[in-house]
């Protein structure tokens, strides 16, 4: 059940990531996946220490939201990093 919510949250996360990418200048977009990956590492660390299944499901949904932000951000900043 939580996995389906994870995928649904991922769709909203991708849209939110696009919104964030539009709000930041191209030079500062590299911080979006960096901060997201740090937050994901914190969530993964706490995911194995949660006391109940319900809290683990909530963290799984949050991870689905955040993990969908990274691919669009990397796809957007990739052409800016590669030299001509």
pLDDT in tens, 39-80: 999 988 888 888 888 888 888 889 999 999 999 888 988 887
pTM of the model as a whole = 0.82
Average pLDDT value for the chain: 88
* Sign of the torsion formed by the C-alpha atoms of 8, 10, 13 and 18: negative
Q: Is 82 left (phi over 0), alpha (psi -120 to 50) or beta?
A: beta
For residue 3, pLDDT over 80 is answered with no
Task: Of 83, 82, 72, give the one whose Cα is nearest residue 24.
Answer: 72
For residue 81, pLDDT over 80 is answered with no
């Amino acid at each position: 059940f939580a996995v389906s919510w994870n995928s649904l949250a991922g769709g909203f996360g991708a849209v939110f990531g696009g919104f964030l990418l539009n709000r930041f200048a191209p030079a500062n977009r590299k911080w979006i996946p960096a901060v997201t990956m740090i937050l994901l590492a914190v969530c993964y660390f706490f995911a194995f220490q949660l006391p109940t299944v319900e809290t683990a499901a909530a963290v799984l949904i949050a991870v689905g939201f955040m993990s969908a932000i990274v691919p669009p951000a990397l796809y957007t900043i990739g052409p800016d990093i590669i030299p001509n």
